[in-house]
Amino acid sequence: MSKATFNFPKNFKWGTATAAHQVEGGNTNNQWHIWEQTPGHIANNDKSGLACDWWNNAEADFDRMVEINQNAHRLSIEWSRIEPREGVYDTAAIDRYRQMLLGLRQRGIEPMVTLHHFTNPIWLEEQSAWENADLVVPKFERFAEKAAQSFGDLCDFWCTINEPNIYGVMCYLSGGRMPPGKEDMPLALRVMQNMMLGHAAAYHALHRVQPMARVGFAHHIRPMQPASRRNPLDGIAAKIVDGMFNWSLFNVIQTGKWDRLMGRGAPSAKALKGTLDWVGVNYYTRQFIKFQHQNNGSFFAEVSGHPEGAVISDFNYGEIYPQGFLIALRKTAQLGVPIYITENGLPDEADAMRPAFLAEHVRQIWLAANFNWNIAGYYHWSLVDNFEWGEGWRMKFGLYAVDHITQTRALRKSGRLYGEISKANALSAEMVQEYAPELMEKMFPD
C-alpha cells in the first residue's frame, strides 16, 4: 500500500459544533423544555436537565477543544435566555455569553455564533412562532440586531438559522417528533419560507450594526435517490423531494424568487437575493425515496429503507455514506461563496465506526478542496455527547464521552484522531493505519 498525506489549505478551520439547549443546562424558558415534560415525547422520557453544564462550566470543555487542537467552534446563543420576556433583555445572560465568547478567543478558538438552533422563547411559541411571518420576522430581526450590539466585538462570524428545512419537516411533517408536533404540509412549507425571510432580515440587521460581519445559515443536505432505479416513478419522486428539501432554499437565495412548489402563497422573496457571505452544509447521510400514489400530501413520495449491506449507525440513525458528502458539496459550490461544513457526525457509543467515518469524510472534503471548491472549514458534530432532542441521551455523538449524571468526560479514540488531523491540518496514511486500519487498502491503494 502507498503512503500519502491529504493536506488542507492554510488557515483551514477545524472545529466542533454544539447547540445551546443541548449543552448548557437549565434552559427552562423555551418550547423544548415544555415539550420534554410530556411523557412519550423524548426517548426513555429523558430530559435535558443540566445537559453538559455549559452554563456553569463551558470553559472546561473549551480546554478540551485545545486538547484536541481545535481552532474554531460553532455554538448557539439561547434566545429565551437573552430575551426571556418580549422586549426585556437579561444583562446577566448577555454577560455570561460574553464570558464564553471571550473564553474561546483567549484559547485561540474562533467562535461562529448561531442565532436560532431549533428553540423558541415560550412567549414567541405562544404567538405561533415561525408560522406567522408578519409576527416573527421583525422579532428575529430585532434579536439579531441585539446580538450584534452585544457580542460584535467578540464575534463577526454569524449563522442566522440552523436547518430551516429540518425544522419545517420535523416540527410539521414527522408525526410529533419535534414541537409543536403538527402534521401539515402547507404549514411546513410556510414555516420554511418564513425562516428564510427571517434569515434575510437578520442578515441585513447584522450588517447594519457590523458592516464587516460574515453571515450565512446552516443547511441540512441529504441526497435523495430513487428506491429503485428501474422504476421511473421512484426517480420522479426522488427528484421532486431532492429539489424541495435540498436545493429550493439555495435557489431563492440566488434568484430572489421562490420555486413553483415552494412559492405557493408565499410573500415576496426579493429581500433574500444575495444574503449569503458563506454557506453551511450539515451532512450526515443519504435517503431513498419511493413513489407512493396514496401519499398526495407529500408529493406522492415516501422514504424507503436502506440498501442491503449498508453500514448503519446507532438506533438506525442513518447509513454511513461518505460519497454523498461530495454530492452535497458539488452543488453547494455553485453558490460561489465559502463553504463551511457546519455539522457532520454519527451516533456511535462504542466509537467503533467513528474513526473510519471521520477519515472517509475528511478525505471527501479534501477531494472537494482539490476541485478548487471553496471549502473553508469543518465542524464535527459534536465535541461532547449531549441531549439529542427527541432521542434524549441515548444517542452518543461526542468525540468525548459524557456521563450526564456525573458530568465526567472521556476522550474517545476518534477524538484523538481528530486532534491529530487538526494539529497537522492534514490526514495521513499513518493516522489511518493507527486509527482505522481497515481503510488502508481502500484509501491508499498500491
Of 282, 283, 375, the residue nearest 322 (C-alpha): 283
Q: Is 295 a residue whose pLDDT tops 70?
A: no
What's the mean per-residue pLDDT of the chain? Answer: 95
- CA distance readout (Å), 212 to 158, 204, 302, 367: 11, 12, 44, 30
Region 54-68 average pLDDT: 98
For each of the domains in the chain, give its residue range(s) and CATH number, in order of start.
Answer: 9-425 (3.20.20.80)
Q: 3-class SS at 240?
A: helix
Region 427-443 average pLDDT: 97
Of 288, 428, 304, 269, the residue nearest 359 (C-alpha): 428
Q: What is the pLDDT of residue 200?
A: 98
Exposure string over 384-394, b if 16+ CB within 10 A, otherwise e: bbbbbbbbbbe
Task: Tell me if 98 sits within 8 A of 107, measured CB to CB.
Answer: no
Helices (H), 292-378: 323-332, 354-370
Please give the grid coordinates belonging to residue 183. Answer: 402534521
Q: What is the pLDDT of residue 291?
A: 87
Place of cell 487538526: 422
Q: Is 296 a residue whose pLDDT tops 60?
A: no
CB-CB neighbours of 67 under 10 Å:
14
Of 91-95, 100-104, 228-232, 340-344, the poorest mean pLDDT is in 228-232
| Confidence tier at 305 by pLDDT (50, 70, 90) | confident
Q: Is 375 a residue whose pLDDT tops 90?
A: yes
State the SS3 of 211-234.
CCCEEEEEEECCCEEECCCCCHHH
Identify residue 271 by its one-letter amino acid code. A
Residue 190 φ/ψ region, left for φ over 0, alpha for ψ in the -120 to 50 degree band, beta for the rest: alpha
Q: Could you give the count of Cα atoms lying within 13 Å of 429 in the half-sphere of its Cβ?
A: 12
Q: Is 70 a residue whose pLDDT tops 90?
A: yes
What is the rounded CA–CA span in Å between residue 156 and residue 272? 20
Q: 3-class SS at 116?
A: strand
Q: What is the pLDDT of residue 96?
A: 99
What is the rounded CA–CA span in Å between residue 410 and residue 392? 20
Q: Is 294 a residue whose pLDDT tops 80?
A: no
What is the rounded CA–CA span in Å between residue 424 and residue 274? 35
Q: Is 297 a residue whose pLDDT tops 60?
A: no
* Share of the chain residues as helix, strand and coil, in percent rounded to the nearest 5: 45, 15, 40
What CA dihedral angle connects 149, 152, 153 and 155, to 10 degrees? Answer: 160
Of 31, 23, 24, 27, the residue nearest 120 (C-alpha): 31
Please give the grid coordinates belonging to residue 186. Answer: 402547507
Q: What is the DSSP letter of 58?
A: H
Q: Is 181 a residue whose pLDDT tops 90?
A: yes
Q: 3-class SS at 64?
A: helix
Please give the grid coordinates belonging to residue 421. Answer: 488531523
Place of cell 500519502: 4
What is the rounded CA–CA span in Å between residue 367 and residue 427? 12
Region 417-433 average pLDDT: 98
Q: What is the DSSP letter of 436?
A: -
